[in-house]
Structure 1
Amino acid sequence: MKITGDQALVKKINKSLVLDNIRLYAPLSRTRVSQLTGLNKATVSNLVQELIDDRLVLESGEGQSSGGRKPLMLEFNPNAGYAAGVELSVNELTIVLTDLEGKIITRHTEPLPDHRVETTLELMQRMMAVLVAEVPPSVHGLIGMGVGVPGMVDEQGNVLFAPNLGWEGVPLREELEQLFGLPVTIDNEANAGAIGELQFGAGRHARHLVYISVGMGIGSGIIIDGQPYKGARGYAGETGHMSVEANGLPCSCGSRGCWELYASELAYEHTLIDPHPNTNTAYWVQQAMWDEPEAIRLFQCIGEYLGVGITNLVNSFNPELVIIGGHMRQAEPWIAPHVEAVVSQRTLPYHRQKLVIQYSELGEQSTVIGAAYAAISQFLGRVRISI
């Protein structure tokens, strides 16, 4: 019998729909899956059997009867495979192993010796070798790798421009797939962080949100109606390079007065009156805990500039939720009042209604979890279909 692409596509969509409902709402009976998806019981039964054969769904026992035989309940199997999530930041490389529900099994972080592509790939190889040895036995093994990078990424996984790394035109996905023999997804680190928070963190119940990653730079992941917004060519979210000072400091991107110069960890070297050898957030948080006036003033200035940029994003996208993540979330007690004050004063009244500003629930794991989820989504989307 000749099978058309349309039949295969419809079945793939239906199978994905069944799996997503089981993953999100388990334990479920086959009858309940049919009700939730709108698919007839015979179709659901066949698709569920395929998912059981793939070991992605398990029968977990009997449920409550509504008058007849007790139904067998269905559960998603998060241990059917594992994913690698990677965050490449300016100063370090972090790799995690997660199950298929994004739960971190193991985590490794190493400092970057330099920003050369070759050095980064060598370090990633060494760290992945350790990670692969830690993958628990499972039917699907290591299913893929997701990577978040601080720069512009195209749909082919090329890093077009990462000014804080000095990278331009790096075919990162191709390089990594050749190195590891795994499917690889590459995305901007803030986009990955937004997905992590949307799926597993502070954004679980939001449809319109902006996630702002604040570390050695700033990037934003924008979620509109539950979906990532990437713009016409996939480059949306480079908000760290929007100008907040018309004739401000020169930036590595070639412009001036960029937001990240005033509201990220880069601000430590520009805002302090006297040069200081310690320019990391953990140090200044410790100083603020001791009520050191210099640290308090520093976080006030950063908080105010964060509020200015957030105001621009709120007035542009009208989100219901703004999430601040990255290293700067450690300074929440000292920056939060200033962020809130500026946003309250400067945003348009109707944009401000019901707006919530939160700090990342996943801490500094938003990007690695979101990157791993991208690999998981790709894997679940290509699960074998029998016709």
Structure 2
Amino acid sequence: MGLSIGIDVGGTKIAAGVVDADGTILARTHRDTPAESVDETAKAICAAAAELIADHEVEAVGIGAAGFVSSDRSTVLFAPNLAWRDEPLGARVAEVLKVPVVVENDANAAAWGEFAFGAAKDVEHMVCVTVGTGIGGGVVIDGQLLRGAHGVAAELGHMRVVPGGHRCGCGARGCWEQYASGRALVREGRAQAESGSLAAAQMLSVCGITDPAELTGPMITAAAAEGDPCAVELLDDLGRWLGEGLASIATLFDPTTIVIGGGVSAAKELLLRSAQVAFEKNLPAKANRPHPGFGLAELGNDAGLIGAADVARRPIPTLESPR
């Protein structure tokens, strides 16, 4: 297998890189994302890829995009942070670059990166959960990425855990990411500070701020690392929600390994400890089934780029024939 390009399209930045068959990034470039314009976003993607193609012989291009991607890995059906609606992105970019182009959901691409080259490279069954502002995820079963009948499977963050709970950006209430994400961590931290809690006031002092509106997830994580009791409690609560959800996911998919990535995973043991306790407590028939291992993602922010590049060099699975 030769070289391919992986492109990770975010709401503000397009990151692109040339990746070899071992998952090593040989060259990089980036562009700003003109998120309000479909045409300008496509042009920026093409420009980033063309810059890399000029210096490397590339077999294919993989694009990781946040949103629903069609089962043929060509059309972005819906993107929450970009102006894509039924956008034939793969064909559009391929026409300009003159190489095969595969489009994949960004969380799926990141999960595949960790499966092929990162924390789950030695297993055939894995779940990857990225805990950032929201929750993304990807599932690999028998060495194959789970995409579902229409390409939109494994939207793990939108598993409902609290009927009638907090309103989610997807329109539903009670989604897992409303309780086990960076957004939830900040919401709870600010709520405690605004309530007049002395412990939360101390946490703000440790963070070097006085206004609860300035509180961020990384601030809470840093304060917890310094031993601040309120910050530690907030991460414990987040870990509990994370572990409870992961117990349900393990029941569904029976993975060998659960990989946790995303910005919130920087808390490491401060988060994983309570997540594992909650997981073990809530896993059904826990005394009579193998338990998956937990691991932290290894590829960091490059997981999506590397995964998209590797997906692009692999044959697209044949769609199911109608019965």
Q: Quick one: distance in 1 between partners of 2:166 and 2:82?
A: 19
1:144–1:351 distance in 2 versus 1, CA, 3 Å:
farther
Q: How many Å apart are 1:176 and its aligned residue?
A: 1.6
Residue 146 of structure 1 corresponds to which residue in structure 2? 62
Q: Quick one: distance in 2 between partners of 1:218 and 1:184?
A: 26
Q: How many Å apart are 1:129 and its aligned residue?
A: 4.3
- The answer to whether the 8 A contact 2:35-2:83 is kept is no
Segment of structure 1 superposing worse, 316-325 or 326-335: 326-335
Alignment of 1:208-219 (within 5 A): 208-219=125-136
Determine which of 367, 372, 380 is the counterpart of 2:309. Answer: 372
SS at structure 2 position matched to 1:101: coil
Determine which of 248, 252, 258 is the counterpart of 2:175. Answer: 258
Name the amino acid aligned to 1:153: V
Count of residue pairs the alignment pairs up? 294
Q: Quick one: distance in 2 between partners of 1:287 and 1:181?
A: 50
Q: Deviations over 1:147-167 (max 9, x none)?
A: 112222112321112334464
Identity fraction in percent: 33
Alignment of 1:305-344 (within 5 A): 305-344=241-280
Q: Quick one: distance in 1 between partners of 2:231 and 2:50?
A: 40
**TM-score, structure 1 length as denominator?**
0.69
1:131–1:214 distance in 2 versus 1, CA, 3 Å:
farther
Name the amino acid aligned to 1:369: I
Q: How many Å apart are 1:320 and its aligned residue?
A: 1.5
Q: How many Å apart are 1:146 and its aligned residue?
A: 0.6
Q: Quick one: distance in 2 between partners of 1:266 and 1:166?
A: 23
1:287–1:105 distance in 2 versus 1, CA, 3 Å:
farther
Q: Does 1:168 align with 2:104?
A: no
Determine which of 26, 46, 62 is the counterpart of 1:105. Answer: 26
Structure 1 unmatched runs, 5+: 1-55, 57-80, 136-140, 380-387
**TM-score, structure 2 length as denominator?**
0.81
SS at structure 1 position matched to 2:168: coil
Residue 117 of structure 1 corresponds to which residue in structure 2? 38
Residue 361 of structure 1 corresponds to which residue in structure 2? 298
Q: How many Å apart are 1:204 and its aligned residue?
A: 1.8
- The answer to whether the 8 A contact 2:18-2:25 is kept is yes
Structure 2 unmatched runs, 5+: 195-211, 317-323
Q: Quick one: distance in 1 between partners of 2:232 and 2:314?
A: 42
Q: How many Å apart are 1:326 and its aligned residue?
A: 2.3
Residue 44 of structure 1 corresponds to which residue in structure 2? none
- The answer to whether the 8 A contact 1:329-1:363 is kept is no
- The answer to whether the 8 A contact 2:46-2:93 is kept is no
1:96–1:341 distance in 2 versus 1, CA, 3 Å:
same
1:285–1:163 distance in 2 versus 1, CA, 3 Å:
same
Segment of structure 1 superposing worse, 120-129 or 303-312: 120-129
- The answer to whether the 8 A contact 2:71-2:149 is kept is no
Q: Deviations over 1:281-323 (max 9, x none)?
A: 5444333333344533332232222112211101111112111
Residue 205 of structure 2 corresponds to which residue in structure 1? none
Q: Quick one: distance in 2 between partners of 1:261 and 1:91?
A: 23
Residue 298 of structure 1 corresponds to which residue in structure 2? 234
Segment of structure 1 superposing worse, 288-297 or 262-271: 288-297
Q: CA RMSD in A?
A: 2.5
1:325–1:318 distance in 2 versus 1, CA, 3 Å:
same
- The answer to whether the 8 A contact 1:210-1:221 is kept is yes
Name the amino acid aligned to 1:103: T
Q: Deviations over 1:109-162 (max 9, x none)?
A: 555464543443343344334433453xxxxx1111111122221123211123
Q: Quick one: distance in 1 between partners of 2:237 and 2:30?
A: 30
Name the amino acid aligned to 2:67: G
1:205–1:268 distance in 2 versus 1, CA, 3 Å:
same
